[in-house]
Structure 1
Amino acid sequence: MTTTHPTPHPVGVRVVELAPFGVLLRPGSLGHDLRELPVDTLRRLVRRHRLLVLRGFAGCVGDGELAEWASAWGRACEVLDTDEKGRVPLHWDGLFAPRVPEFQILDCVSASEGGQAGRTLYCDTVRLLADAGAMVGAGSWQGVTVTYRVPGGQRATCPLVVPHPRDGAPTLRFHEPPHEDDPDLLDRPSHQFDGIDAPAVPALLDGLRAALHDPRYLYAHAWRTGDVVVADNHALLHGREAPADGTHRRLRQVRVLGEPLVTTQGAHHHER
């Protein structure tokens, strides 16, 4: 974390920049409820900084309260409640859905204290691609499309590089292949690459993996109970580190459709 952010922000809160991107908001007084914060201001912060962390605020007690607050951000989907276990490769939400959410809202109901293991990872692909001219192999990313298939027959195809639907900035849309030491990962997708010669695919994957996990573009969030994180799902990829034995975390998640309403990602289509 670095210095206090100088731009306008909600009254009565402290705003701190995160490294390498994102902003953290803390209440200026005990008992400050996050629902008192103007959502229009929060939305602008997410769209500018890609990631917003709300820490120390009184939050939404039940699923109904969380759903109501999320609906102020846009058209909200149902609240999903999960006990998080295992490593998750970097990906974006909506690959196999008919609509791609703009915002991913995560609310930490409970988390083991004092540990860094199992952090949620966010990669700023807009910043990454802005610097991609200096990366080995980055020139091969343009024009590549990836078809993903998972057990059960789901299939989706998306270009590797697509414009952000709001500002047109190039973004990376990629579901990272699982680590080979994660044999129990459910719905392990297969990848078919088009627009690149087959012998060049291993180098493409190595270059992508190195870029996506470069600390200049990767923020790792260590959760505390009560944290609420709002992410720009169009600009970021997200995943999770492997948790340590004995640690636990329970999150509630809501995905919110934004403006413009995104029914595709470039040539992305959805089939069942």
Structure 2
Amino acid sequence: MNLSVHSHDVHGQSLTASGLGIHLPDETPLTAIRQAVLDHGVTLLRNVHFDEASFRCFVESLGDKVSYADGSAKVGYGFADILNLDGTHDKEKVITGRGSLPLHTDGILLGTQVDLIILYAADVKGIDEDGATVVCDQLAAWNDMPESLRRPLLDGRLEYLAFERGYFATVPEGWYPISTFRDYGRVRSLNLALPFDGQAKASWDVRVPGLTAEASTAWFAALEQHLTAAPYLYSHRWRTGDLLIIDNQRTLHGRRGLQPLTCRKLLRGQVTFEEIASAPGATLAGE
């Protein structure tokens, strides 16, 4: 089974040894970024100046903004469209909190199609490698993946359990299956969220159907080691004014945990290029 992307030939300095991503010059116009991220998978632009209103307008210029309303208004603690990833000290909030997040696909547990993830650093103080956003070139990692790691993915489904009910307000309360692949017509790629590393609070859990707990844990550990190998991974150290846009169909991403006396406040938007499929309560903004 091939994972593939339909893209133009690209040139220039990449962010990973596998060829993913590009750091754009500061003078790059915002109107050029959408094509750049489609060509390169990840784009970084520094020294950008947004408030929340102008950031929302920029997100809307990139595609159909994902929004939650009506029966799913409580999804993501009620963020609706622009999520504040503010590094809260509220220990009940994991996704917007200070702990690490394992590599994952945005929208996987909610069943939402997300094509681009737009992250903007509104305020950053006192962080270095902590708080970094990590991005995996999953297509390159798949091409090099040994058969022993591929096999459970080729079986087609993993099972998930959502713990963070304030964020995943609409998903089933027990274990439920999710397809390991997705294809919305642009990229065929892995649909995946790795388990948490044993930190005090987890947002979700995942297991391989038919394996013992020990065998499932061992397989995920080996898979994570492969996906986070140096050739496939970009680790972004945030500075105020950074704009990082990730093609969610070509990548997996996660977060390194934050130290106690640090500040990392990001704004996050999501857009899709097609009608949102199988997303409970998700709508295109403005409908």
TM-score by length of 2: 0.73
Flag structure 2 segments of 5+ consecutive residues without an equivalent: 1-8, 68-80, 88-97, 282-287
- Give the Å deviation of 1:244: 2.8
Q: What's the CA shift for 1:178?
A: 0.9
Matched, 1:205 2:220: yes
SS in 1 for 2:106: coil
Q: Does 2:53 correspond to 1:64?
A: yes
- 1:261 pairs with one of 275, 282, 287: 275
Q: Which residue of 1 is the match for residue 101 of structure 2?
A: 88
> What CA distance in whole angstroms lies between the structure 2 residues aligned with 1:131 and 1:44?
27
Take 1:166 and 1:247, find their aligned partners in 2: how far apart are those partners? 41
Q: Which residue of 1 aligns with 2:249?
A: 234
Matches within 5 A, 1:119-130: 119-130=132-143
Match of 1:175 in 2: 193
Q: How does 1:154-173 map to 2 (within 5 A)?
A: 154-155=171-172, 156-160=176-180, 162-169=181-188, 171-173=189-191
Letter in 1 for 2:192: F
Q: Is the 8 A contact 2:187 2:249 kept in 1?
A: no
Q: 2:33 aligns with which of 42, 47, 65?
A: 42
Contact 2:119 2:267 in 1 (8 A): yes
Shift of residue 92, structure 1, vs aligned partner: 1.6
3-state SS in 1 of match to 2:62: coil
Any residues of structure 2 matched to 1:26-37 within 5 Å, and which?
Answer: 26-28=25-27, 36-37=29-30
Q: CA deviation at 1:219?
A: 0.8
User: In structure 2, what is the Cα distance between the partners aligned to 1:163 and 1:120?
Assistant: 23
1:135 CA displacement: 6.1
Deviation at 1:88, TM superposition (A): 1.3
Q: What is the DSSP-based 3-state SS (H/G/I as helix, E as strand, rest coil) of the residue aligned with 1:48? A: helix
Check whether the contact 2:133–2:256 (CA below 8 A) recurs between aligned residues. Answer: yes
2:24 is matched with 25
Structure 1: how far apart are the matches of 2:143 and 2:115?
A: 21
Distance 1:163 1:130, change over 3 A: farther
**Structure 1: 5+ residue runs without aligned partners?**
1-5, 9-14, 29-33
* Distance of 1:168 and 1:94 partners within structure 2: 15
CA 1:242–1:117 in 2, change beyond 3 Å: closer, same or farther? same
What TM-score comes out, normalization by structure 1 length?
Answer: 0.77
- The offset of 1:252, in angstroms, is 0.6
The separation in 1 between residues aligned to 2:229 and 2:277, in whole angstroms, is 30
Distance in 1 between residues matched to 2:270 and 2:253, nearest whole Å: 13
Structure 2 counterpart of 1:217, from 232, 241, 252: 232
Provide closer, same or farther for how the CA distance between residues 207 and 71 of structure 1 changes in structure 2, counting only shifts above 3 A.
same
Number of aligned pairs?
238
State the 1:163 CA deviation: 4.5
Does the residue aligned with 2:231 lie in a helix, a strand or coil? coil
The residue number in structure 2 matching 1:75 is 64
Which amino acid in the other structure matches residue 157 of structure 1? P
CA contact (8 A) 1:136 1:207 kept: no
Q: Structure 1 residue 16: deviation in Å?
A: 4.2
SS in 2 for 1:65: helix
User: C-alpha separation between the residues in 1 aligned to 2:113 and 2:205?
Assistant: 21
Within 2, Cα distance between the matches of 1:163 and 1:56?
34
Instruction: Write the letter of the residue equivalent to 1:52.
Output: T
Q: What is the CA-CA distance between 1:83 and the residue it aligns to?
A: 1.4
2:157 alignment partner, one of 128, 145, 148 = 145
Tell me the alpha carbon deviations over residues 60-93 of structure 1, each in whole angstroms, 9 at most, x when there is no partner: 2x22211111111111142112212221121121
Quote the offset at 1:19 in angstroms.
2.4
Gap change, CA 1:98 and 1:168, over 3 Å in 2: closer
Look up the equivalent residue of 2:236 and give its one-letter code.
H
DSSP 3-state at the match of 2:208: strand
**% of aligned pairs identical?**
21
